[in-house]
Amino acid sequence: MSVDLAMEPAATVVAGACHHCGEALPAHPCLQEVDGRVRAFCCHGCAAAAEWIGRAELGGYYRLRSAGSGRVGDDLPDLSVWDRSDVQAEHSREIAGGREITLLTDGMRCAACAWLIDRAMAREPGVTDCTANAVTGRIRIAWDPARTALSAPLRRLAMLGYRPYLAGSEALERERVRERRRWLLRLGVAGLGMLQAMMLAEALYLDFHDTMPVATRDFFRWLTFLLCTPVVFYSGWPFIAGALRELRERRLGMDVLVAGSTLLAYFASLFETIRGGPHVWYDAAVMFVFLLLAARMLEQRARSVASAQVDALARARPAFATRECGDGNRETVPLAALQPGDVACVAAGEAVPADGVLVDAEAWFEEALLTGESAPVRKHEGDEVYAGTVCRERPARLRVTCTGAATRISQLARLVEQAQAHRPALARVADRLAGRFVLFLLPVTLAVFAWWWQHDPARALEVTLALLVISCPCALSLAVPAALAAAHGGLARIGLLALRPDALDTLGRATDIVFDKTGTLSDGRPVVAASEFFDLDGDGALRIASALERDSGHPLAVAFAGRDGLPPPATQVETVPGRGVQGVVEGRRWRLGRADFAAGREDDGALWLGDGSRAFARFVLEERARADAVGALQELRGLGLRLHLASGDGQAAVRRMSSALALDDVHARQSPEDKLALVRRLQAQGKVVAMVGDGLNDAPVLAGADVSIAMGDGASLAHRAADMVTTGSSLQRIPEAITLARRTRRIIHQNLAWAAGYNLLALPLAAAGMVTPWIAALGMAMSSLAVTLNALRLARAVPAARGTDVAGTLPVEVAR
C-alpha cells in the first residue's frame, strides 16, 4: 500500500535514508506500509521491492541485514538481451535439467542479501537452484529454459536492487577457484597428517630408556607411515612434480632438494620400519611438506595481490551496451556488437562499454580504476570517455571510437600482465645462486655421509638427512620473487605500471630526476592569453593553427581545441622536434612554433604562425602547474633526490616554472638531443637518472635514462619508450613509487642476508650432528616463512600525502 506524504503525520516517517537501499531520501519520498509501520523510500522501485518482500513473507531480511541493498530506481533495465542464444551459449553452460550461469551484482552487501536472493529465486518458476555469495558478489543460477526465460528471474533480482552483470572470464575464475581449493586441501591434509605424526613421534621420542615393547613401537611406526604417505605423495606432489620438471630441463633447483629430502626421509624411515632400526624420520618429512606448503601459499597470496589489478580491469567493462539507433530508439546489444561511430547510451551508475567522445553537453565519470582518483571527473562535449569508467549523476551518450582490445582499459590490462611476467635480473641471479648452492651441497652431503659412516654409522643417515633439509635454499629462492610480487601489487594500487623487468630496482637507486615541463609538471591545458595578427584575420589564423595542431599529439594542441566550427583539413603534417609543426592547409604550407622556425624572426618565447619567412600571427600561451606538483616535488626533495627541469620552452617560461616549484637545476630551449645529452652528462658523473615526460619529443630521452616514467595521459610513443607508465595524471604517484621501490630493495637485501646467514650457520651445525631432522625441517621452513612474511609487508599501501598547493598561471614560451 503506497500512501502520499501529505496524508501521513511526520512522526511516522523514518527520516534520512530509504528503508530498502539506505540512500538519502528525496524532498518528497514515497511511503509504504511495511510490517505495520509506514516506511519512507527513495523511489517507487524500492517501495515495490519492499512490498514484494512482505508478500513473499521474507520480511526477515530487514531484521537480518547489516547494510542496505542496491537502489532499485523507477526504471528497470532491459534484460531481454539475456535470452539471446548467442549470449547464453557464450556465458552459460548446459547441466542436467537445464542451464547454469554465474552473474555478478554490486548490490549484495551482507549475508542477509545472499539469504534474500536465495529465497527469492527459489520462488521463481523454472529456477532449479541458486547460490549467492555475499563475499564475492557472485550469484549462480540454474534454470530450466523450457519453463522460464532467463530474463524473468533476472528481472526479479533487478526489482530487489541487485542488477545482474556478466562475470568476466568465468572459465578462468572457475579454474582459479579449483586451484585454490586444491592447495587448501593439500595444506589441510598436510596439517592433519603432521599433527597426528608428531603426536605419535612424541611417544617414540619420550621412550628414553627403550622400555616400550617392540610390537607397540612398530605399531606406532606403521601407523605413522600410513599418515605420512598421503602427505608426501598428495600434499607434497607440487614439489615432486617441480623436481621432475627441473631434472627434465637438466638443472638443479629448489624443488629437487625439497623433493629429494622429503623422499629420502620417507623411504629411509620405511626401510628402518621394515628392518626394525633404531630411528625413523616420518615427522621430519610431514613437517617439511606442511611448512613449505604454507610458505608457498603465502607467496601465492602476494602474487594474487599483484594480479588483482588485472582482474579488476577485466571485470570493469560491462557485457552489454545500450546502442542508439538511427530513428532514436535504443537497443541492448552484446559488447562485441558495438562498432566505432555508434552512439552508446550509459545510465547513471553503469560502466562505460567502450572508449569514445561525449556527445552530451556535460557528464560526470568516476575513473578510479584507471587513474586511482576517487572523485568523479567532469567531462564536456567532445571530451574523451574511457571504457570501464562509471557514469555518475546523470545518463550520458558517447560516440564510440575504440572497442574491445583497442580500448585503454584493455591496453592497461595487457601492461599489468606483461609487468607480472617479467623476471628481473636480481631474481635471475638469486635463481642461479640457489642452483649453484644445490650443486655445491650435493658433494658436501656425500662427504658428510662418508665421514659419519666411518665414525658413527648409526647416525650417518640421520645427519645426512638433517643436512639436506636444513640447507635447502628455499629462503634464497623466495627472497626476491616474493618481494617483487608484493611490490607489483603495491605499484598497481599506487597507479604505476612497470613495463621493464628491472625498472623497480633502478627506480629505487635513482639519485636525480629530470622533468619535462609541458604536460608533465604543467597541467597540459594551456590557453591563448594574448594574440597578434599580421595580414591575416584572427579567426583565419586560429583556424589554421587549430588545423596544424589537431593531430600533432602535442600538449599545446589543447590551446587551440574547441574553436567554433571545424578547422580545415591539414595534410602533410610533420612535427619538427624542438621547433614546431608544419603542414599544408587550404593549399598553402604553414608553420607553427618558434619564431625562428615559423617566421624567420629572433625567438622571443611566443608561438608564431608563418610560412617560414613571414609572420602572420603571434600567440602568447599560459599554463598552470599541476595541482599536486608542489607537494610531490617537496616529497622528492625529502627523499634526497636532485630535481632537474629540461624543457623546449623559452627561458622566461622555464624560470617562472622553476621559481614556482623551487627546482634545483633548469634548462630551457632543449631539443630532444639536448635533453638526452643532459641525461648522459649526469650519468657520466655516476648519477642514476630517472626521466619523467609525456610528449612525442620525450621518447629519445625516456629511452636513454636509467629509468623512465611516462605520464598516463601522454603520447603513445612516450609510453613505448618508457620503463613505467602512470595510469593517471597525478605526480604524487612518483614519490610514492620511489618510496615503495626503496622499501622493496631494503626488503630484498634483508631477505637475501637472512637466507645467506641462515645457510652459513645451519650447514656446519647440521654437519656436526647437532641438529635432528625434525628440527632441521622446522628451521628451514621457518626461514622460508620469515622471508615470505617480510616480503608481504610491501603489500601494505604506501601512505599518500597528497599535495594541495596549486601554482598560479604561468605564461608559456613554446618549443616542440
Round to whole Å and give the CA distance between 263 and 280.
13
Round to whole Å and give the CA distance between 672 and 700.
7
Res 71: pLDDT: 64
DSSP for 187-201, written as a single string: HHHHHHHHHHHHHHH
Q: What percent of the chain is predicted at pLDDT more than 70?
A: 76
**CA-based radius of gyration for the chain:** 34
Average pLDDT over residues 659-688: 83
- Residue position matching grid coordinates 555469495: 133
Round to whole Å and give the CA distance between 643 and 303.
34
Q: How many residues does the chain have?
A: 816
Average pLDDT over residues 110-117: 76
According to DSSP, the β-strands at 615-624 and 809-812 are antiparallel
**Burial of residue 1, with CB atoms counted within 10 A of its CB: 0-12 exposed, 13-18 middle, 19 or more buried:** exposed
Res 4: pLDDT: 41
Give 23's DSSP letter. P
Res 553 pLDDT > 60: no
Round to whole Å and give the CA distance between 793 and 781.
19
Q: How confident is the model at residue 230 (pLDDT cuts 50, 70, 90)?
A: very high
User: Strands, DSSP E only, in 1-134?
Assistant: 2-3, 30-34, 37-41, 92-95, 98-104, 127-133
Tell me if 220 sits within 8 A of 203, measured CB to CB. Answer: yes
Over the stretch 163-200, which tens digit does the pLDDT of each residue have? 777 665 555 556 667 777 888 898 889 888 888 887 88
Helix (H) or strand (E) holding 400, with range, is strand 396-402
Round to whole Å and give the CA distance between 357 and 384.
4
Q: Average the pLDDT over each of 392-396, 457-461, 799-803 and give the range with the smallest value.
A: 799-803
Over the stretch 342-378, which tens digit does the pLDDT of each residue have? 998 887 767 888 889 998 888 888 776 665 555 677 8
According to DSSP, the β-strands at 642-646 and 512-515 are parallel
Over the stretch 617-653, which tens digit does the pLDDT of each residue have? 888 777 777 778 888 888 898 899 999 888 877 777 7
**Burial of residue 816, with CB atoms counted within 10 A of its CB: 0-12 exposed, 13-18 middle, 19 or more buried:** buried
Average pLDDT over residues 767-794: 78
3-state SS, residue 367: coil
Q: What percent of the chain is predicted at pLDDT more than 90?
A: 2
Q: Which of 561, 556, 529, 533 is nearest to 546 (CA)?
A: 561
Q: Which of 560, 520, 522, 521 is nearest to 541 (CA)?
A: 560
Termini Cα distance of the chain: 69
* Neighbouring C-alpha atoms within 13 Å toward the C-beta of 434: 27
Tell me if 399 sits within 8 A of 215, measured CB to CB. Answer: no
Backbone angles phi, psi at 12, to 5 degrees: -85, -10
Res 801: pLDDT: 37
Over the stretch 565-614, which tens digit does the pLDDT of each residue have? 566 777 887 877 767 888 888 888 888 888 888 888 887 777 888 888 88
What single-letter amino acid sits at 35? D
Over the stretch 55-108, which tens digit does the pLDDT of each residue have? 777 777 776 676 556 666 655 666 777 787 777 776 778 888 888 888 777 667
Comparing 595 with 135, the larger pLDDT belongs to 595
Q: Average the pLDDT over each of 690-704, 762-776, 789-803 and give the range with the smallest value.
A: 789-803
For 131, 149, 181, the CA distances from 101, given in Å and listed in that order, are 11, 13, 21
The grid coordinates of residue 238 equal 607440487
Average pLDDT over residues 658-683: 82
For 102, 200, 201, 216, 277, the CA distances from 222, given in Å and listed in that order, are 47, 10, 11, 10, 13
Over the stretch 646-668, which tens digit does the pLDDT of each residue have? 887 777 777 777 777 878 788 88
Q: Average the pLDDT over each of 413-427, 528-542, 732-746 and give the range with the smallest value.
A: 413-427
Highest mean pLDDT among 66-75, 109-118, 469-478: 109-118
Round to whole Å and give the CA distance between 532 and 732.
38
Average pLDDT over residues 778-787: 76
Mean pLDDT in the chain?
Answer: 76
Q: Which of 87, 76, 103 is nearest to 158 (CA)?
A: 76
Res 803 pLDDT > 50: no
